Amino acid sequence: MINVGIVGGTGYTGVELLRLLCKHPQAKVSVITSRAEAGIPVSDLYPNLRGHVDLCFSEPDVEALGKCDVVFFATPHGVAQNLMPALMATGTRVIDLSADFRIRDAELWAHWYDQAHGCPELISEAVYGLPENNRAAIKSARLVACPGCYPTAAQLGLLPLLENELVDPTGLIISAASGASGAGRQAKVGMLLTENSGSFKAYGVSGHRHLPEIEQALHDAQPAAAVPAAVTFVPHLLPMVRGIHVTSYARALNPDTLPDLQRVFEERYVDEPFVDVLPEGQVPETRSVKGSNMCRISVCQPQGRDTIVILSVIDNLTKGASGQAIQNMNIMFGFEESAGLDVVALLP
């Protein structure tokens, strides 16, 4: 049984970590911090945890966190990078759910996040935590940077095509939609039920912070990586709580010699516990992964034309954040990869 610390436990990724970890057979949360709620029982904020979690929030404290075997950061960007040097000096391993260590180029990070990076010296040590692509490196990592929610769903949908050099990496279209929990638990007029229920819109069209992460990852995925991936990424806001749906459009490089795409996808993910390639002709619904760590994927080639369509769904709080973070923890500590994550999606 390992000891787990959580920094920033009052947001939705924090409560999702608790929901899953409180039933994990080999991990126990012993510290959960929140400056604003210090002293308050966790279950006062999240009544679903009454009877399951007895902890109170505490002030962030490097010494207490350093005694944990692993610390999760469930904080907005900018927080983890400032605590990281002191925390890693304690020898604890860290899984960062925020964006702080996802981008390898500190200047690119600074450009998109509009602030200098507070800890550029540790960026190179950070391992990108997409198990389906990086399992070996995660196993021995001291610091794992968990992928963003959109990048997770987008990559799992596009990796088989890019790894096999089947599509033009310079004209990728990623049309994505997320439930409102992706925006976190902040008091903003724009995220009120009254402002979003029964409505749908795009946002961040001129540039969303997940774009450079997606392009970096898709570039890496190509064998030769000669051509930088160029992505047009448009996220949309769904009038619902959980779920990401990504519809990707990619142009086949050699339409006439394209292999059986269904088989390409099935073979790519045959051993993956959390990627489910649907039978031909079925499409994934976000509700089929609600509360679970699964990603479900379909691929098709409408009218046999050159444009390939890939549909991928995840729960943004689970495979898109806290579930994937625990999957990374399981890999790092040699646990069964699905320990604590063998959850059936809640349907209906």
Catalytic residue list: 149
Tell me which residues in 70-99 interact with its own copies (CB under 8 A).
Answer: none
Task: Provide the minimum distance between the beta carbon of 149 and its own copies in the complex, in angstroms, as a whole number.
Answer: 14
* Single residue of 24, 102, 290, 319 touching its own copies by CB under 8 A: 290
- The residues near 221 (Cβ < 8 Å, ≥ 6 apart) are 133, 155, 158, 159, 162, 163
* Single residue of 12, 72, 73, 265 touching its own copies by CB under 8 A: 12
**Size of residue set near its own copies by CB under 8 A:** 88
Task: Provide the minimum distance between the beta carbon of 143 and its own copies in the complex, in angstroms, as a whole number.
Answer: 28
229 neighbors 219 (Cβ within 8 angstroms): yes
- The residues near 324 (Cβ < 8 Å, ≥ 6 apart) are 129, 130, 131, 146, 147, 152, 293, 318
Task: Look at strands 295-300 and 307-314 and give their pairing.
Answer: antiparallel
Phi-psi region of 31 (alpha: psi -120 to 50; beta: other; left: phi over 0): beta
Q: Which is nearer to its own copies, 39 or 302 (CB)?
A: 302
Q: Which is nearer to its own copies, 10 or 92 (CB)?
A: 10
CA distance 57 to 38: 5
Task: Provide the minimum distance between the beta carbon of 348 and its own copies in the complex, in angstroms, as a whole number.
Answer: 5
Tell me which residues in 112-151 interact with its own copies (CB under 8 A).
Answer: none
Task: Provide the minimum distance between the beta carbon of 15 and its own copies in the complex, in angstroms, as a whole number.
Answer: 7
Cα angle for residues 72, 20, 75 (degrees, 5° grid): 30
Tell me which residues in 177-236 interact with its own copies (CB under 8 A).
Answer: 177, 179-181, 183, 185-189, 191-203, 205-207, 230, 232-234, 236
Q: Which is nearer to its own copies, 140 or 197 (CB)?
A: 197
* Single residue of 78, 239, 253, 333 touching its own copies by CB under 8 A: 239
Tell me which residues in 248-267 interact with its own copies (CB under 8 A).
Answer: 249, 251
Q: Is 110 helix (H, G, I), strand (E, B) or coil?
A: helix
Q: Is 97 helix (H, G, I), strand (E, B) or coil?
A: coil
* Single residue of 38, 89, 227, 283 touching its own copies by CB under 8 A: 283
Q: Which is nearer to its own copies, 47 or 259 (CB)?
A: 47
* Single residue of 4, 15, 214, 321 touching its own copies by CB under 8 A: 15
- The residues near 229 (Cβ < 8 Å, ≥ 6 apart) are 162, 169, 170, 172, 214, 215, 218, 219, 222
